[in-house]
Structure 1
Amino acid sequence: MPAAPSSPHQRRHLKERFRGPVLLRRTQLPAPDDTTTDQRLLESEGSTDWLHEDPWRVLRITSEFVAGFETLAEIGPAVAVFGSARTKPDSPEYAVGVEVGRLLAKAGYAVITGGGPGAMESGNRGAVEAEGVSVGLGIELPFEQGLNDYVDLGLNFRYFFVRKTMFVKYARGFVVLPGGFGTLDELFEALTLVQTQKVTSFPIVLVGTSYWSGLVDWLRDRVVAEGKASPADLDLLHVTDLPEEAVEIIRGTQPAGRRI
């Protein structure tokens, strides 16, 4: 490794270049380039690859946060309802989701879902039928999904982590209907944030004891039993079959539900 210059005088004679606030020296110096940043900005010809690079993505990310904060800041108290996009409209699970959305709206909560079909649609539908605030936070996916017809206030995001921030920031509780990998991701992220006190604690309710019992048993009999989590961590979850009880737990008027 070459020795560092031994005096301020020597340091002043190092080759260096500034790229905005970034200082480049020695091996970090780019290949010679006679153009200036302004010149490259104003040049109408040339590659458009910069549109797809990380520095430009930062601005897109910022714009999504700004749009989310601006749109959701005044929706009032809200509850996030998660569940599978594959839930069929004629299924009992869909009917439960509609009732959950309806009761939440009647209790004065805006209902926030992922904006898609299935269980998400059921929550939005219940909110609309109760003349409440129905919010959908969609996500750009390789396959077309779009926002369901019961979303009255919708946002579509490019980035999952921005979307997740909106769920957590504006929800006072989570109601989790039967779902797949996406639902599990949202469930365990919420649990982790509450467990680690990265957010103010809020209730998390699993609706559907027969669906969630296998996961519940595994958490208790393996994760907690083997010391990977504490028994108190399981108290963050409530399990019920009744939409009425789920809403009571969210409101704090039903303290337990069925604890895991």
Structure 2
Amino acid sequence: MAPERNSRPPIRHRGPVIMRGERTAEDTTTDQRLLDQRGPADWVHNDPWRVMRIQAEFVEGFGALAEVPNAVSIFGSARTHRDSPDYEQARRLAAKLAEAGYAVISGGGPGIMEAANKGACDASGYSIGLGIELPFEQGLNEWVDLGINFRYFFVRKTMFVKYSQAFVCFPGGFGTLDELFEALTLVQTGKITRFPIILFGSQFWSGLTSWIENSLLESGKIAPADVGLLHVTDSVEDAVQVILDAETTRHRRAAEQAAQLAAQQASEKATELW
């Protein structure tokens, strides 16, 4: 007799590979095996070959996401329950963004990530999940239209940054903070074009923003303008408007730069003819 569906052994993801049963026994991740300290010569036999796997993961991600339209990444805790107000707000925000023409990108897991993907689907939008191999199985939620499971955190974070026009961080833990400060650092240092970084939930984020202003700013560790990189809100409509306004500003600046370049080229051509 075939086993009952609920008696099936758990599934484990290893990058794009799915394993079930005894093959799920491995208790380390690809990131851990890469970063763990090895013997003095062991890297000669292992790490150079990992470069090919890393390269392949970048190629796979770039290929899958190359035609994604303007998108917004939504981060937050995987532990957020479905009956939580944060879950409902994330779902509503994703739906509003989808209605405005944005794809919605999440980490593809449960909690806030699931809410974001569900909201995009509810509004017939494009729902994307970028998963990660973890020691404990998480898997992609059922509302992901386009899903990619990554082995390496740094490859996954590159995809979030490259294909997003804005970041929205709902209450979350270390993973959410990691994505938040990655985006802040890249914008602050000019490594990427400035885009909105929105903290949703003023009460949750108040301690962090106070520390940034009272410790980092007052001690001279950041510039006054750096504080303005964060926008804190409790309103879905406000978050959407901030993102739309930023896109309008980007288009205006691009048009101004194009006009300046055309004028400069026309002036140079006139000078040559003269």
Fold in common (TM above 0.5):
yes
What residue is the counterpart of 1:114 in the other structure? 107
What is the percentage of aligned positions where both structures have the same residue? 63
Q: Which has the larger radius of gyration?
A: 1
Answering whether residue 208 of structure 2 is matched by residue 215 of structure 1, we say yes
SS in 2 for 1:151: coil
| Distance across 2 between alignment mates of 1:154 and 1:223 | 38
Opposite residue 207 of structure 2, the aligned amino acid is: G
What residue is the counterpart of 1:39 in the other structure? none
Match of 1:152 among 145, 153, 156: 145
Answering whether residue 81 of structure 2 is matched by residue 98 of structure 1, we say no
Match of 1:239 among 229, 232, 239: 232
Describe how 1:32-51 pairs up with structure 2 within 5 A: none
What residue is the counterpart of 1:182 in the other structure? 175
CA offsets, 1:186-228, max 9 Å, x none?
0000000000000011110110000000101110011101111
SS in 2 for 1:155: strand
What residue is the counterpart of 1:167 in the other structure? 160
| Distance across 2 between alignment mates of 1:102 and 1:173 | 15
SS in 2 for 1:154: strand
- Offset at 1:55? 1.2
Answering whether residue 89 of structure 2 is matched by residue 128 of structure 1, we say no
Opposite residue 238 of structure 2, the aligned amino acid is: E
Cα pair distance change 1:107/1:209, threshold 3 Å:
same
SS in 1 for 2:77: coil
| Distance across 1 between alignment mates of 2:224 and 2:156 | 30
Describe how 1:244-259 pairs up with structure 2 within 5 A: 244-252=237-245
| Distance across 1 between alignment mates of 2:132 and 2:60 | 14
CA offsets, 1:4-50, max 9 Å, x none?
xxxxxxxxxxxxxxxxxxxxxxxxxxxxxxxxxxxxxxxxxxxxx99
What residue is the counterpart of 1:205 in the other structure? 198
| Distance across 1 between alignment mates of 2:226 and 2:45 | 42
Opposite residue 74 of structure 1, the aligned amino acid is: E
SS in 1 for 2:129: strand
What residue is the counterpart of 1:29 in the other structure? none
| Distance across 2 between alignment mates of 1:52 and 1:160 | 23
CA contact (8 A) 1:248 1:254 kept: no
Opposite residue 179 of structure 1, the aligned amino acid is: G
| Distance across 1 between alignment mates of 2:219 and 2:182 | 21
| Distance across 2 between alignment mates of 1:51 and 1:142 | 26
CA contact (8 A) 1:50 1:56 kept: no
CA contact (8 A) 2:199 2:205 kept: yes
What residue is the counterpart of 1:230 in the other structure? 223
- Offset at 1:253? 6.7
SS in 2 for 1:252: helix
CA contact (8 A) 2:106 2:116 kept: yes
Answering whether residue 136 of structure 2 is matched by residue 143 of structure 1, we say yes
Opposite residue 198 of structure 1, the aligned amino acid is: K
SS in 1 for 2:92: helix
| Distance across 2 between alignment mates of 1:51 and 1:162 | 23
Cα pair distance change 1:229/1:50, threshold 3 Å:
closer
| Distance across 2 between alignment mates of 1:122 and 1:55 | 39
Higher helix fraction (1 or 2): 2
Answering whether residue 59 of structure 2 is matched by residue 63 of structure 1, we say no
